Amino acid sequence: MRDVALRFYGLSFNKKSEIAGRLQLLEAEDMTLPDHERFRQVIIRAHERGQLELLKQAVIESK
């Protein structure tokens, strides 16, 4: 999980937003959070929803 998180955080804001939206990992309440916390929630949700592998693939493909 750490590797996925580090790779994800290394992406541009736009790429992180696009991936999070495509995988439906953003919630309406996330929009009020600072960027770092918003994307932290994305990674937590990916883990909780069993989507870490999908997140990893999306990050790899975005490079």
Q: What is the pLDDT of residue 19?
A: 98
Give me the DSSP letters along the chain.
Answer: -HHHHHHHHTS-HHHHHHHHHHTT---GGGGGS-HHHHHHHHHHHHHHTT-HHHHHHHHHHH-
Q: Catalogue the long-range contacts made by 25-34 (C-beta closer than 8 Å, 24 or more residues apart).
A: 25/49, 25/51, 25/55
Question: With bands split at pLDDT 50, 70 and 90, how would you rate the model's confidence at 1?
Answer: confident
- Residue-wise pLDDT tens digits, 13-49: 999 999 999 999 999 999 999 999 999 999 999 999 9
Residue 26 has a CB neighbour count (10 Å cut-off) of 18
